[in-house]
Structure 1
């Protein structure tokens, strides 16, 4: 990029690699500035997130209640760090954390802080949580932003705790009482009650209050710092996040750059979740906008150690997966001084590779034709108090099944179905129970235009508030009626030999549908879930039936009381417009998300393949667990293969990569005739073969990932 181009291009479009040293209070007197300057160069960062103010001030603020770092003394640490970064030509964002303050602050302004119904403040570790509807957010923080801009002219701001207290806490301060009464005409709900329309309105209102602050902070920043001075609240990359009041869709649509705080995998979601997060955030903010993510260099996992190094391959794989999904890497260290210096070896190789290949990692669009649908309303108003069971497990089941089957797909927000339908052949609705009338209409129009549909469980049986619909809104395209009855068990409890209601199965008929033809030498499959009872017409036929549970123990009692039933567990059919329909009445997606039984994962991916009817543009054959991301960049095809072999069975830590190969790849090419396939990890070229609109080539071995450029 030339200097002239860099000057014309705003920082949020040209800053592709980021770094953050999240200062501790004692860092100002201990930091080795020369070491950090060298680290910036080694990691090829173009932008830094630097602690400025809010919960702790790292500069001499004129606001006496803004708590100063213990080790600050008379120094202007933020100013010094910012000046050093500017000399290196780096973008600087001032990091804020505005969700809590000291007792002195509370004592002077008690009406600015979260209180319970008895008027008692909400505290943690000696700090008092600020209310998002108080003058703390509305007046004080904008004043702090203006001060920092006046003194230091940062490019913008980042804040990872901008949403305030989570949805488990109802604030009863006068600000919230008056605002809710004025806007909704009700008193605040006294407790969590999903059957109470007022409580559900409070949930919606709570999202809008945070969005209101997002707009307020951006207005203040841009008025003081110019049109490109952005205030950016960090977001979580998961669509099934129910902890904070951050509406990913609404915030994504407002963002000129997305700052994501999603630092590592967890017990339910593997590395593949990070590639998915990149795709999802881009579908909201746009593929021409940068999405960057804080990636932990410190030890994460079941327990957290802020000062110890994460295993290098664990950090590397999380970064690689994010990059495969379009995420810009962002190293993250807690504290400027470390005795465990191994963590400084984690990020540089990945970020150096990213710099060398950045022309292939941006300005591209997914070439997938499968859409996996999600919505925040479904998470809130169907998931309610049990988001993991109702939302996360079905979602995770499909994510892992599609990844395992090497099927490229894109996440689609339910409000964007009509917008994104043109590029899709199949929509997947994973127990998307709570849907608006408009979303249901978009699904109907997609199918009536020839699209195929895979849907599960209670999909579309509830309205957007989680209330049961009297009529099934997809009946016109499926011929189905829901009877609102369930057989079986969700198995949402510890395994117990004496309890067998989850010990149930699926019965495979002799005359087998293509989805179950691969299951040879068995007439049953393990299930472990529940089945929605439906009535069907001629349009859908049963593919497999439900076998009720029977005793597990003692072994002598473990025989099927019923060898089958007339309850369909899976149904398939075709629409008059040409699309295919597949319904999992049994919650196979949830059971696979929970149990990881390979048979259940095969059922999900087989159904998607059948629904796609040969239109999936990628075939990858060979050993290993590979995450496959296919993109188009003008007249170029880009395939990112991430080798997750050995990482999908347990959380743990990635200690060693398991190379796999040979891998045979075939990609559908309609109007592109590539002359070469360049492998950008091994730095070699292979000769592709073109036959019947498919390009084919072979990769001898993949260690952790490979980026293939076809041009």
Structure 2
């Protein structure tokens, strides 16, 4: 293994302190914790989990230290104690890095009475009581409370305590605030009144999205400057969701946020386990080299049914941590309430942190390397309210799951950070449903195809401008070899696509003449020089049952393929195959997505894995080295949390492409700590992994020729 493990203690209080903060404990205190929780018990948790960094509740909604800022509400149980200070001292005694957590999203009656302008207002003009605890008030995120008052609290914490950063939770607001200040500032900036609903087709809504982005970005800068004016090596670190980067000016975030924190604390509903690693790939699509932390909750994550002071199963926690770590995310666990009535979470967290520690050196020595990228459609998604964004990502999630089932590693490219050099890293780019793209973005992709890149396009991609205005023609028609003949329509029932001819795209269907179609359809015509391996069967009634038969022959293309003069390939699937697969999970759709991507690759992937079960695969390289991480997703509960037991899988053969001229290579399995036999064959190194519980990795090294 490479000798590149990070020396965390050496980086204490240095400008690069955050690079030593690789395993985090977050303790979010409850108001009565000052008289109930045991500081020494938590210092022991720091030790047991191998944490080298801590994020600790300091202030904002409730102060856990003797604050002197007016209207900064102290815990009623604080007395003469200083629980925040005691935790900071205990963590520093273990040579840990420390962040102070603040939460500005609510205030108490005294502050609301003295400063009614701090309170958010709903669309009916009413000050907003807290939705979960009506005794307090929701704050306006875009006015004086966050821009003037909270920096006073931040400065007090940074001045009085030995911390490396201030971390803010729930600081971005909760929807539109209709207070007089927001209404005037927005109108002065945009000329519009505040929108009454989230509607991407409404120019006023789009203007509010842009205005909010400007306000939040300015806030990050101001809070960061407030911190650094007192401690030059410290920072303000905003808490973010998996897609939150689209809400900020990227140059500003790059200048002020040395690392990024993703608050996707676990699965909910039918989310698969690979969603943990997806967070890493989405952040990397914008900031490839920036450290990223993934928060994991020790309790179940359900947005409707909330049990925040609870414990989920150990395998669930460890697997979530492991999948994030395998894709390069630094692990962080959070516990709500300082009292520990149920300690069953401690060992699983320690196990997950230990898995990260075993691959940390190899992760540090390598960087992500992949041939397949999915376009992260931020230009489209930023027009959706955050509550509706999950549904808008269904096409991308469907493609992602299909690739994982296929054993194909993939990364993301962000369309608002896309460059020619970034695209040139990949052989295949997938657009699951990037509806809104600017002319410049379309030109970047088209030029890349003309340089030899291969493109898979689905759904309504490139059918609208960056403002959401419908185009008369697909913005990528010049490279796809298709022409729009009718606007998108749907949802449609009882649709089918028919296999046409013999082509690698329709291989493996064992004599089937047609398969399930999509829910939203785009009508296109195929130009010369293309093939149409699937045709659309015109939809027909689904009731009465006697009427369930096709009326017309299939003639319109349902999949169009093209081989380009530059040596690349394109596939156009003009219906929402990704979202339909995500909802229905029809194996035929997974096969079509896999066939399309493998045909576009035009050869084997740089890493091919064969064996039983479902694995989430990530690939990283360095000169003379390749790291392949393998997360075992095989479980009867893989589609619904919590995983109750781990089901190990048997031997897998990992085939890795190596440079020409390599005559010898060695492989280590970091998790099991064993050496593996390597067979070199036809430009590839073949390594057998005997078995995988939650995580295993192959670290292959060789001497470069010459």
Shorter-chain TM band? over 0.9
State how 1:45-84 maps to structure 2 within 5 Å: 45-84=51-90
User: Does 2:421 correspond to 1:430?
Assistant: no
Matched residue, 1:635: 624
- 1:377 is displaced (CA, Å) by 2.4
Matched, 1:619 2:608: yes
Alignment-derived partner of residue 230 in structure 1: 235
**Cα gap change, 1:530/1:470 in structure 2, threshold over 3 Å: closer, same or farther?**
closer
Alignment of 1:480-499 (within 5 A): 480-486=482-488, 489-490=490-491
Structure 2: distance between partners of 1:439 and 1:143: 42
Tell me the TM-score normalized by structure 2. 0.93
Secondary structure at the counterpart of residue 368 of structure 1: coil
Contact map agreement 2:481 2:528 (CA 8 A) in 1? yes
1:665-680 to 2 correspondence within 5 Å? 665-670=654-659, 675-680=665-670
Provide the rounded CA distance (Å) in 2 between the counterparts of 1:586 and 1:60: 60
Partner of 2:291: 290
1:484-515 Cα deviation digits (max 9, x unpaired)? 4346x43xxxxxxxxxx522221112x21111
Contact residue 236 and residue 261 of structure 1 kept, 8 A? yes
Does the C-alpha gap of structure 1 residues 353 and 623 become closer, same or farther in structure 2, counting only changes over 3 Å?
closer
1:194–1:258 Cα change, 3 Å:
closer
1:396-407 to 2 correspondences below 5 Å: 396-407=397-408
- Which residue of structure 2 aligns with residue 215 of structure 1? 221
1:457-472 matches, within 5 Å, as: 457-472=459-474
Classify the secondary structure of the residue corresponding to 1:381: coil
Say if 1:281 and 1:191 are closer, same or farther in 2 by CA, change over 3 A.
closer
Secondary structure of the residue that 1:665 maps to in structure 2? strand
Q: Contact 1:269 / 1:396 at 8 angstroms: preserved in 2?
A: no
Distance 2:351 2:401 in 1: 28
Correspondent of 1:507 among 495, 498, 501: 498
Does 1:152 pair with 2:161?
yes
Tell whether the 8 Å contact from 2:318 to 2:352 is kept in structure 1 after alignment. Answer: yes
RMSD, aligned α-carbons: 2.3
Aligned residues: 689
Q: In the superposition, relative to structure 1, how do residues 700 and 381 fare at CA in structure 2: closer, same or farther (>3 Å)?
A: same
Matched with 2:193 is 187
Q: Any conservation in 2 of the 1:507–1:564 contact (CA below 8 Å)?
A: no
Distance, in Å, in 2 between the alignment partners of 1:625 and 1:21 is 34
Q: Secondary structure at the match of 1:521?
A: coil
TM-superposed CA distance for 1:22, in Å, is: 0.8
Residue 538 (str. 1) matches residue 528 (str. 2):
yes
CA distance in 2, matches of 1:400, 1:27: 42
Alignment check: 8 A CA contact 1:235 1:248 kept: no
1:622 is displaced (CA, Å) by 1.4
CA deviation string 1:398-444 (max 9, x = no partner)? 11011111111111101314241121111101110001111111111
Which shifted more, 666-675 or 528-537?
666-675
User: Structure 2 vs 1, CA of residues 137 and 622 (structure 1 numbering), >3 Å: closer, same or farther?
Assistant: same
SS of residue in 1 equivalent to 2:582: helix
Q: Secondary structure at the match of 1:299?
A: coil
Alpha-carbon distance change, 8 to 67 in structure 1, aligned in 2, over 3 angstroms: closer
Q: C-alpha displacement at 1:385, in angstroms?
A: 8.3
Indicate the residue corresponding to 1:496 in structure 2: none
Aligned match for 1:529, one of 510, 519, 531 = 519
Q: Deviations over 1:98-122 (max 9, x none)?
A: 1221122111111222213553212
SS in 1 for 2:335: strand
Select between 185-194 and 328-337 the one with higher mean Cα deviation. Answer: 185-194
Confirm or deny that 1:178 pairs with 2:174. Answer: no
Could you give the per-residue CA deviations for residues 420-474 of structure 1, whole angstroms, max 9, x where no partner exists?
Answer: 1121111101110001111111111111111010001111110111110133321
Q: How does 1:327-476 map to 2 (within 5 A)?
A: 327-381=329-383, 387-389=389-391, 391-415=392-416, 416-476=418-478
Q: CA shift at 1:347, angstroms?
A: 0.5
Q: Report the equivalent of 2:141.
A: 132
CA contact (8 A) 1:252 1:281 kept: no
Q: Which moved more, 1:525-534 or 1:395-404?
A: 525-534
Cα 1:299–1:586 shift into 2, 3 Å: closer
Which residue pairs with 1:493 in the alignment?
none
Q: CA–CA distance in 2 between the matches of 1:456 and 1:35?
A: 53
Q: CA 1:694 to 1:196, structure 2 compared with 1: closer, same or farther past 3 Å?
A: same
- What SS does the aligned partner of 1:34 have? helix
> What residue number does 1:497 align with?
none
What SS does the corresponding residue of 1:361 show, helix, strand or coil? helix
Give the one of 638, 648, 653 matched to 1:664: 653
Query: Larger deviation: 635-644 or 118-127?
Result: 118-127
On the 8 A contact 2:120/2:179 being kept in 1, the answer is yes
Deviation at 1:366, TM superposition (A): 1.5
CA contact (8 A) 1:114 1:173 kept: yes
Q: Give the TM-score normalised by structure 1.
A: 0.92
**Alpha-carbon distance, 1:475 to partner:** 2.2
CA-CA distance at 1:184 after TM superposition: 2.1
Q: Distance in 2 between matches of 1:117 and 1:333?
A: 35
* Secondary structure of the structure 2 residue equivalent to 1:446: helix
The answer to whether the 8 A contact 2:26-2:334 is kept is: yes
Deviation for aligned residue 1:127 = 2.2
1:687 equivalent in alignment to 2:696: no
Q: Is the contact between residue 13 and residue 164 of structure 2 (CA under 8 Å) also seen in structure 1?
A: no
Matched-pair contact (CA < 8 Å) for 2:266–2:300: no
Answer yes or no: is the 8 Å Cα contact 1:132–1:213 preserved in 2: no
CA contact (8 A) 2:451 2:566 kept: yes
Query: Measured at CA, do residues 382 and 311 of structure 1 come closer, stay the same or move farther in structure 2, by a change above 3 Å?
Result: closer
Equivalent residues of 1:235, 1:246 under 8 A apart: no
Cα separation, partners in 2 of 1:22 and 1:387, compared to 1, 3 Å: closer
User: What CA distance in whole angstroms lies between the structure 2 residues aligned with 1:318 and 1:588?
Assistant: 27
CA displacement at 1:647 relative to structure 2: 5.3
**Per-residue CA shift, 1:225-276, capped at 9, x if unaligned?**
11x211011111247x99xx56789746752111221110122431111112
Cα deviation 1:311-350 (Å, max 9, x = unaligned) = 0000011011000111111121111112112122220122
Distance 1:633 1:294 in 2: 28
Tell me if the contact between 1:393 and 1:590 (Cα under 8 Å) persists in the aligned partners. yes
In the other structure, the counterpart of 1:264 is: 266
